[in-house]
Structure 1
Amino acid sequence: MKVLLVLISLIVPSITTSVIAEEIEHKKPNIVFILADDHRWDYLSVMDHPFIETPSIDSIANEGVLFENAFVTSSLCSPSRASFLTGQYPQQHGVQNNFTVWDNKNITYFEPLKAAGYATAFIGKWHMPGGLPKLRGVDQFISFEHHGGQGAYYGTPYIVNGKKLKLNESPVEGVEISGYITDDLTNFANKYIEDNKDRPFALYLSHKALHLPMTPDAEAAGRYDDVEITLPREADSWLAFADGNFKHFLWDPLEEKMKDYAETAVAMDQQIGLVLAKLDELGLSGNTIVVFAGDNGYMWGEHRLIDKRWSYEESMRIPFIIKYPNGIKNPGRRSQEMLLNLDMAPTFLALAGLEVPEQMQGKSAVAVLEDKPDSLRDAWLYKYYEDYPYPVPEQLALRTKRYKLIDYKRGKKDELFDLKNDPLEQTNLIDDPSMQTIYQELKERLIEMEAEVSQPTVKVE
């Protein structure tokens, strides 16, 4: 950087190095948010998974900060995605499950960014009921309504800024449609980055992968055919056909679907590598915030369950990795702070030098990125609203750094776990005489926090 400043000052003597340095320092950072669907927190090679290979995502961690304790406040696609956008709990933004319509009065982080001069884009899976939204502050909106908003790995017609296109018709001039959705979304994203390289931009890239039916591209398909899968001790190959798990449509032995899942992750990782390469090619990497995250976790037989929704760690825990060379101190770190999906919006705004709107309930993680001794939180609230026909009871949970209390509204006994001594949540301590004081304290805090996060906040009239 010093050499660059000297060269520029020699070419343009009237501009001092201090002025140049100040301009570079105050240049607004670009933002690239990459969201995977159903990507479990530990299905990354950087998390020492026994066989999965994710070198591109690993590189984000190696150059940034990996949050080992990142969570969603509701482990389901629609409410989680709404929380990423609004910085709010589902009790506020109103998207309670996959059947609750998005309220266009909700305020997203795009609006203050747009007002500050950012180019903005949403590319990929929206997946909230009510059709595609009217998002204020978004310049380019490329998505789909195919299969109820789920899209398909092959054969998805795209919609650009409200215009429905024919299958295999490109919504962006100069972008070729391959037919495989992960590749197409990446091509749209890279074209957007190229077109906006000379101004600050905020890109939200939302993948269908790794959602069912978990279909890898031709290159990744079969990659793990010969891998031997070790199931959780309480699971078996045909668990998908038992205990209501058939609702999740896994029509193969569990081991085979886990291989499909892993191969689909590999295919996505390769495409994420192309986005990172594009930023490098254009010289944007240093001043670009890149986040990779999942919208919820996924259970592969733990607790004899499949899918998400439940308050268990495998369901509510997500990958969340952020790199920003110009703004992260001591990159390559792992943070143990409890970060939530609703923290992303205020973190982006704070890094952009903008005021965080009052209605956002999340917390900025800037202090963690700067490696300062600051705690994000010591407890947080999880809520799952029923979404029939899935056989999962409504539940409210309090998660602290050590304990988890789960309050089921029907059909299942409440649970209390000591996560320090029982990280796999195998022993319910709810009736343990020695735990009754802790239980009552947690219960009182759960009630208080539910009341607190449910207080009405601002919406656009």
Structure 2
Amino acid sequence: MKKTLLTLGVAGMAALSQSCAPEKPRKKTNILFVISDDQSWKHTGMENIPELKTPGFDFLARNGAYFENAYASAPSCTPSCAAALTGRNGWELGETSTLWGRFGDEQLAYTDILAEKGYAVGMTGKGWGPGIMGGKRKQNPAGKNYSSKKKQIIKGTWALSNIDYTENFKQFYGEKKPDQPFCFWFGAKEPHRPYVTGTGVSLGGKNLAQVPLPGFWPKDSTISSDVADYFFEIEHYDSHLKNIVEFLEEKNELENTLIIVTSDNGMPFPRAKANLYEFGAHVPLAIYWKGKIEKGRRISEIVSLIDIAPTILEATGQKIPERMTGQSLLPALESEKNLKTLRNRAYPYRERHAYSYADGVAYASRAIRRDDYLLIWNLTPDMYPSGDISPENNRNFLPYGDVDSGPTKDFLLAGKYDPEIGKFYRMNFGKRPEVEFFNVKKDPYQNENLADNPAFTETKNSMFTELKEYLSKTGDPRMKGHGEKFAQNPYYGSTQWNGFVGKQRWDKMTEEEREKTKDKVERTRKNNTKKLKEMGWSESDKNIVI
């Protein structure tokens, strides 16, 4: 006999009514984008590095997807972050293509699109930058800033940021509407310099004998201690990442949140940051989406941070604008069969970084990373790649101003005439040939240039041709003979003439304030001249050829 509503009983009727009820609308996907400041890909727990623990990053990578070969668009924070926001190569972004540039309303970021769709958009720490907003854009494109909550870690110094990233995220989450989806940018200020020297050992408990050093530096405890301090800052940032993930789990949001964790560029050391070598452009990348991405995926295909914006937009159900050069990584994340959809190459570039040459001109390089190889095209090989050798042509009156000041740099500068250390000094600061070609699998530190090796001529030429074709197709001004556009980009940061305060602030200063600033600049020049003399640096060193 067929059952009718009359014979089902109360329990049966309730069950039937529930099965017939319309499904509750599915919650929109949240976005948590996490980006550290100056961290090479090699430096996470996923790479089994002694003396470095990153449980926050490792949890997401092991329970989601870990990309072994992810590359920044540029090894410099301003253009790198802009590329991640807009899904475009940095050279496509005009005044946003160089450090201390301008992000105007002519740029379209994924955050702009999600804000229009009703997302709560916020950030903590470091958003896009450094630089200024342009046009009608009044706030950082990363979102409304939540950085007011502080927690001092090392008293008496700002070297380690006192921004309490965790509490600021909680404030943002508490202020948004209950059912409102969110898009949040957690921009850590670590492990950017300066460091408190010795904290890796004193606070981080690092064993210097176990701290690995790349093969383009000499083995020395000074450098090991410097890297240990860098590790300590990575671990500090990672602790906040872990806290935020746990908070999302407490709020039952983890299953509904796409989490992307990366870095803007490589470590702030010689031959790394502001360079197109692996330790400068190769960055960590983990993507986690509970229930959507199979656990433990390790993806070896080569991807770029210009793929971040398209990935976020597709994950949230938005149309990807045609202007975006990047491609969504979702097909590769959802199925191993779809890995073939990846381009499997990256095209990092480098233009002006810091104000480190006379008149703010740019050292220019382009690169292609494909298969096991890296080809770098140095378009201005007559220039020193790390900044001018003359201290007077650098904003901080120290040679090679594109390399952040620190113990490792000082060690190499002081040892430039030493028979052993001098080899590393020249490797890190010397001029480079127009074309460099490396097998990164066999030569992880890029110590052997194969550009003139006949055995690699065919591969080198193929990659060089492909690089030029891609640059032309995407409108790189250098390919049209307009390289001066990069040098002509306004530099809104600090130079010698405006006293390390930035152009905007300088323009608003009174004459008295400017005079005080000029006095500070002169003191800096004298102090750094004294420092160089203590290292054995002399006026004649400005003219040496390395």
1:206-217 alignment, distance < 5 Å: 206-214=187-195
Matched with 1:195 is: 175
Mapped partners of 1:65, 1:216: distance in 2 = 35
Cα distance per residue 1:64-97 (max 9 Å; x no partner) = 1010111112111111011111111011122222
In structure 2, what residue type is equivalent to 1:141?
A: K
Aligned: 1:296 with 2:262: no
2:310 is equivalent to residue 346 of structure 1: yes
Question: 1:213 corresponds to which letter in structure 2?
Answer: P
* Alignment check: 8 A CA contact 1:382 1:398 kept: yes
Q: Which residue of 2 aligns with 1:418?
A: 439
Q: Give the direction of change, closer, same or farther, for the CA distance of 1:353–1:421 in structure 2 (3 Å limit).
A: same
5 Å matches for 1:13-24? 14-16=17-19, 19-20=22-23, 23-24=25-26
SS for the counterpart of 2:57 is: helix
SS at match of 1:428: coil
Percent identity reads 25
Confirm or deny: 8 A CA contact 1:399 1:405 kept in the other structure. yes
Greater Cα shift, 76-85 or 375-384 = 375-384
Conserved? CA contact 2:109–2:141, under 8 Å: no
Tell whether 2:401 aligns with 1:399: no
Distance 1:367 1:321 in 2: 15
- The yes-or-no answer on 1:436 pairing with 2:463 is no
Between the aligned partners of 1:210 and 1:217, the Cα distance in structure 2 is 14
Flag the structure with larger Rg: 2
Match of 2:240 among 248, 263, 271: 271
CA contact (8 A) 1:384 1:396 kept: yes
User: CA 1:99 to 1:336, structure 2 compared with 1: closer, same or farther past 3 Å?
Assistant: same
Q: Distance in 2 between matches of 1:289 and 1:448?
A: 34
User: Which residue matches 1:74?
Assistant: 74
| TM superposition shift of 1:390 | 4.1
Is it true that 1:336 corresponds to 2:336 in the alignment?
no
Post-superposition Cα deviations, 1:145-174, rounded to whole Å, max 9, x if no partner, equal xxxxxxxxxxxxx6xxxxxxxxxxx4xxxx
Letter in 1 for 2:436: E
Give the partner amino acid of 1:100.
Answer: G
Structural RMSD (CA): 3.0
TM-superposition CA deviations, 1:208-265 (whole Å, max 9, x none): 1110013599999522344323433441367xxxxxxxxxxxxx92222211111111
TM-score by length of 1: 0.78
In 2, Cα distance between the equivalents of 1:18 and 1:418?
61
2:374 aligns to what SS in structure 1?
strand
**How many correspondences in the alignment?**
398
Distance 1:335 1:107, change over 3 A: same
Give per-residue Cα distances to partners, 1:97-118, cap 9 Å, x unaligned: 2133223321000122122221
Contact 2:128 2:141 (C-alpha < 8 Å) held by counterparts: no
Say if 1:120 and 1:138, in contact at 8 Å, map to a contact too: no
Contact 1:209 1:264 in 2 (8 A): yes
SS of the residue corresponding to residue 101 of structure 1 reads: strand
Matches within 5 A, 1:248-287: 253-287=222-256
Match of 1:6 in 2: none
**1:281 alignment partner AA:** E
Q: Is the 8 A contact 2:68 2:300 kept in 1?
A: yes
Preserved contact between residue 32 and residue 291 of structure 1 (Cα < 8 Å): yes
What is the DSSP-based 3-state SS (H/G/I as helix, E as strand, rest coil) of the residue aligned with 2:42? coil
Residue 277 of structure 2 aligns with which residue? 312
Amino acid at match of 2:309: A
Per-residue CA distance 1:394-423 (angstroms, 9 max, x = gap): 211111122221111223212112234433
1:57 aligned partner, one-letter code: F
Q: Which has the higher contact order (CA 8 A, sep 6+)?
A: 1
* Residues 265-289 of structure 1, C-alpha deviations (whole Å, 9 max, x = no match): 1111111111011101111111111
Find the residue that maps to 2:31 and give its secondary structure: strand
- Residue 427 of structure 1 deviates from its aligned partner by 2.0
Q: From the superposition, tell whether residues 140 and 434 of structure 1 become closer, same or farther in structure 2 (CA, over 3 Å).
A: closer
Over 3 Å counting, the alpha-carbon distance change for 1:221 and 1:379 in structure 2 is: same
CA distance in 2 between counterparts of 1:308 and 1:284 reads 35
Unaligned runs of 5+ in 2: 1-11, 154-160, 383-431, 478-546
Looking at structure 2, the residues matched to 139 and 12 of structure 1 have their Cα atoms a distance apart, in angstroms, of 46
Mark the runs of 5 or more structure 1 residues left unpaired by the alignment. Answer: 1-8, 144-157, 159-169, 171-175, 239-251, 457-461
Match of 1:242 in 2: none
Is contact 1:37-1:294 (8 Å) kept? yes
Indicate the SS of the match to 1:314. Answer: helix
| 2:186 aligned residue | 205
